[in-house]
Amino acid sequence: MKITKEIIHGCRTDIPVLKSNIMRRAIAILFSCLLICSLLTTCGKKELTDGTHTIQVTLSGGSGRAHVESPATIVVDGKSITATIVWSSPNYEYMIVDGIQYDPIQTEGNSTFKIPIVLDVDMAISASTVAMSKPYLIEYTLHFDSSTIK
């Protein structure tokens, strides 16, 4: 003979019904947690609209002496984003991003370039400098932090 009843707190309860209620509550709690997590992650993301914005950019690599202005100005046009990179020196002749060479956009002041960017990834770039006795192509990494877009 199988026992299907149990006394819990003085009440007779069917064990299968009790297990079913516990399972329903566990599933409801799980779905509630998933909903809250999904709302929290999507609410924190900004919709990037076309136009001009600013963004924090970090530069690493090279000798450590060079830097770029941050925040940088970015222009969003559809799905493409370009950044204006202003170096701490007037001695950069060109930059290479994804195998494409970009020349300076001005001849006065510190070297300034417009380059395509990707947000929230470490972008490997190269920049040719003539600050030393002959031109050198130096490897750098740029990182554009989308959480800082204004």
Per-residue pLDDT, 42: 46
The 10s digit of each residue's pLDDT in 118-136 is 999 999 999 999 877 888 9
CATH topology of domain 51-148: Immunoglobulin-like (2.60.40)
The 10s digit of each residue's pLDDT in 85-95 is 999 999 999 99
Percent of the chain with pLDDT over 70: 77
The 10s digit of each residue's pLDDT in 5-22 is 555 555 555 666 666 777
Structure tokens at 21: 């209620």
Structure tokens at 84: 């204006």
The residues spanned by each domain of the chain are 5-43, 51-148
Structure tokens at 114: 């417009």
Residue 57 pLDDT > 60: yes
Q: How far is CA 139 from the centre of its chain?
A: 21
| Cross-strand pairs, 17 | none
Whole-model pTM: value is: 0.66
Structure tokens at 141: 């990494």
